[in-house]
Amino acid sequence: MKKQKNTINPTNPNQKRDKSSWFFILFAVLFAAVVANVLFSRGGGEMFNKSGTPVVSKPLELSFSDVLRRSGDIKTMSIRDKNATGELKDGTKYNAVITYNPELLEKFSQSGAEVSIDTSKSWVDYLGTWVPIVMGLFFIWWIFRGMRGGAGGISRTLMGQNPTKIVTGKPKTTFKDVAGIDSEKQELMEIVDFLKNKNKFQAVGARVPRGVLLAGEPGTGKTLLARALAGEANVPFFAASGSDFSGIIVGLGVAKIKEIFEMAKRNAPCLLFIDEIDAIGQRRSQNSFNDQDREQTLNQLLIEMDGFSNETGIIVIGATNRPDMLDPALLRPGRFDRQVHIDLPDMAGRKEILELHAKKIKLNESVNLGDVARGTTGFSGADLENLLNESALHAVRMGHKMVQQDDIEEARDKVLMGPKKVRKMRPQDIKTTAYHEAGHAFVSTIYADVTDPIHKATIIPRGRALGMVQHLPIDDKVSMSIAEVRANLSIALAGRAAEEVFFGRDKVTTGAESDINMATRLARRSITTAGLSDRVGIVAINQVQSFGTRVPLETASEKTAELVDAEIKSWLDTAYRDAVKLLTKNKKTVEKLAEELLRRETLTGEEIMEIVAGKKQKVVKNNTDKKSTKKNKKGINNV
């Protein structure tokens, strides 16, 4: 079946467009009439005498004081509102603006003037009187006409300006296009089986879930999974987003909810997908006076999902990355019966995702996607797809015909740390950075049997970082031992320790800011939530809220908070002393590491282990290294 796109529009759009054009024409005519009334009422038009013959000569303009002073010279005077026209005794025509006063008119009559008052109304006067009335009546009729139009009333007309996109038929996406989330796919396969073999479930008395909520981090594949579900089930698929049901007009969201569910009922059984459902499904409160329209939209959604008509044949699929914001009435069984939380992919899942997206690009045979999966911990499916795309872009930029491992490494560093920075740095700053990263790298080799193996060290600045040391995990970890925690603390503080050991206490820099921050967070989490401190004990001080949000020291007294702060400082001081001790005993080895970083800028994990083991390094003779060394001596970091 061919994929089609329609919009919710119960009436003929061409007919509606014709009616709207007539309305605009009518409004334009009325507006032009009002403008003409204003212009003619101001005077300045052509003047007429009693016989209706236009006056060709330009009349004399008199002020009110001139009229009073020359009252004896006036032969005729015709008054209309405040405008007076007439003829003087010498035959001169005149125009004047006067103030209507019966005594004044009597004075003119006594002077021999013929005074007449014109009380008739022209078509312009009638137009200025009736146009506002007609426009008001027309506007009231338009409102009542919309209210009689059924669901949504006037909002139905406005919906045509913001239609809800609907996809019907079988989308091309299937479960074969979804990788790395096998357990989540299994949850949804039951719905596909029900839509294809409904009698098998009804024979047992089972009821298919009326709604499935897909929750997870951004980029984990919630929308992709919903499209794949529709493709597998081969049923009509209706797609909308939460923002489609909100607008500036009250009642627009309710009208759209009714409309899309009415169309879904006519095509049941079917799937109705609402992306970012938290836009209309936020938790209701007693003080939300400004969100009454949103709450009415939510109420209508609740009624449609589980009202008096239960067996509608509609399965609602909702997607959000903020399920903690949703109203409890929306999450209860009978509406969203099943909640599927999509986690970030593990190492095996990341490899599957990389293999899926790698089919679209040309990879060199030397590329090891397993190593790429190891080095992308915490990446979502969208991040991995972007990583391969950045790799392909870098390959084109470098003139490669196929994507190589170096292209992927560069793309990963760019995604994690930012693009390379060309900075003018003092020689002392470059040297300090080299010893700082050498300290991290050396202590990492000491604790290689406890922590993740080191992957590389570099002093090429990226983003805000002047250098970095990367580790690649062997496998996915769900927990850390206390020995591993203490080892990671020493590795994190080894950069600051190297600065003190080789340059003195007075020469340490602010470059360890992120290291100290990371070490402090690791120590606090280990002490307050994991119960790894003997002094604090096995007690949870930070209460873990839903989906990882934390409230610092929520259940701690002031005395306990002071104890926690003291214990965190004790752990960090111990780790720092351990790093200083290791670096002091092995100063020559660390110096070799730093000198190699200054010469080559980047060292792999194997090269670092060979230097620590005392093996001779191969002298790399190339123009790039010579230029790099010369530029570094001038204080410019080659990137």
DSSP for 170-209 reads --S--GGG--S-HHHHHHHHHHHHHHH-HHHHHHHT----
Peptide bond into 54 cis (omega under 30): no
Spatial contact of 414 and 385, defined as CB atoms under 8 Å apart: no
Q: What share of the chain is helix, strand, coil (3-state, %, to 5)?
A: 55, 15, 35
Name the residue with tokens 């950075």: 433
**CB neighbours of residue 299 within 10 Å:** 15
Angle between helices 623-633 and 427-446 (to 10 degrees): 120
Q: Which of 184, 352, 437, 500 is catalytic?
A: 437
Q: Can you give 51-116 as a three-state secondary structure string?
A: CCCECCCCCEEECHHHHHHCHHHEEEEEEECCEEEEEECCCCEEEEECCCCHHHHHHHHHCCCEEE
**CB neighbours of residue 344 within 10 Å:** 18
Amino acid symbol at 61: E
Closest CA to 408 of 461, 366, 468, 352: 366
Say whether 232 is catalytic.
Answer: no
Rounded CA-CA distance 303/297 in Å is 10
How many whole angstroms from its chain centre is CA 376?
24
Rounded CA-CA distance 628/637 in Å is 8
Angle between helices 587-600 and 427-446 (to 10 degrees): 130
Across the strands, what pairs with 41?
Answer: none
Task: Give me the active site residues, please.
Answer: 437
